[in-house]
Copies of this chain bind each other. A is one copy, B any other.
Amino acid sequence: MAEIYALGNIGPSGAAAEASLREAMRIVEAIVFASAEPVPESLLAARLPADVSVRLVLDGLAARYAGCGVNLTRVGDCWAFRTAPDLSFLVHDEKHEVRKLSRAALEVLAIIAYHQPVTRAEIEDIRGVTTSKGTLDVLLESGWVRMRGRRRTPGRPVTYGTTLAFLDHFGLEELGDLPGVEELKGAGLLSPRIPAGFTVPVPFADDELAEDEEPFTDNDLEDLGLLAPKGGEE
């Protein structure tokens, strides 16, 4: 911290004053760093010994940070650390919210993970409530859920499953790593008093289609809006 010598005329006789100034700089640095708001100069002064000039300390700190990636800047009579203007491209100006999944979306996602391949009717059967179209749309948009194919039953309902991005995001190596009943109980997530017949399925982990599934046809894809309708030129 060679810069400290530049602050004032501190001769060799002022070693104690220098140490006191250095400590004051550390204190101001930590307080301004940890504060969520710019810190009033008066508040900083109150935290320093009476014989230390807060302005001297702030000037010294500002000088030390002058050429750095972060600067100590004055905002009115307050002080804050700010990213150096020429590096502002590294940070967003305004916060861009990361979207949290709704409770319903989390439930549907979990059911798809455990019960895949699963149809929308089956999801609703498990949850006991109707699943809004929007919930599945959000999950598809998140990239964690995909349409796998169609169930070979009347109506040929679409089956849903999870994606690689799902495993990646949730830190799972494979679907088989999802905890079973015993582990859910053990971790306190399931009541130990759950009925004996309660089971949690072992997820169907195969990328291949299940026996009762069939792949989408081009027509299906068009219907689902996944493929632009073929033009008349064909």
Q: Which residues of B contact A189 (CB under 8 A)?
A: 137
**Segment of A84-92, A203-211, A212-220, A221-229 in the binding face:** A84-92
Query: A100 near B: Cβ within 8 Å?
Result: no
- Find out whether the CB atom of B1 lies under 8 angstroms from the CB atom of A67: yes
Interfacial residues of chain A within 47-101, with CB under 8 A of chain B in the complex: 47, 67-70, 81, 83-84, 87, 90-91, 93, 95
Report copies per complex: 2
Minimal Cβ-Cβ distance residue in B for A123: B186
- Find out whether the CB atom of A87 lies under 8 angstroms from the CB atom of B173: no
Minimal Cβ-Cβ distance residue in B for A192: B133
Q: B36, B67, B183, B188: which contacts A134 (Cβ < 8 A)?
A: B188
In the complex, A140 Cα to B95 Cα: how many Å?
A: 28
- Find out whether the CB atom of B30 lies under 8 angstroms from the CB atom of A84: yes
- Find out whether the CB atom of A26 lies under 8 angstroms from the CB atom of B131: no
- Could you say which of A31, A183, A192 has the most chain B C-beta atoms within 10 Å of its C-beta? A183
Nearest CB of chain B from residue A87's CB, rounded to whole Å: 4
Return the CB mask of A178-200 against B: 1 if under 8 Å, else 0. 01001101111101100000000
Query: A115 near B: Cβ within 8 Å?
Result: no
Q: B31, B134, B147, B187: which contacts A90 (Cβ < 8 A)?
A: B31
Q: B2, B30, B120, B173: which contacts A69 (Cβ < 8 A)?
A: B30
Query: A41 near B: Cβ within 8 Å?
Result: no
Query: A18 near B: Cβ within 8 Å?
Result: no
In the complex, A30 Cα to B140 Cα: how many Å?
A: 31
Query: A167 near B: Cβ within 8 Å?
Result: no
Nearest CB of chain B from residue A55's CB, rounded to whole Å: 17
Nearest CB of chain B from residue A15's CB, rounded to whole Å: 16
Query: A158 near B: Cβ within 8 Å?
Result: yes
Query: A45 near B: Cβ within 8 Å?
Result: no
Q: B68, B137, B150: which contacts A29 (Cβ < 8 A)?
A: B68
Query: A25 near B: Cβ within 8 Å?
Result: yes
Binding site for B on A (CB under 8 A): 1-2, 22, 25-31, 33-34, 36, 47, 67-70, 81, 83-84, 87, 90-91, 93, 95, 120, 131, 133-138, 140, 146-147, 149-150, 155-158, 171, 173, 176-177, 179, 182-183, 185-189, 191-192
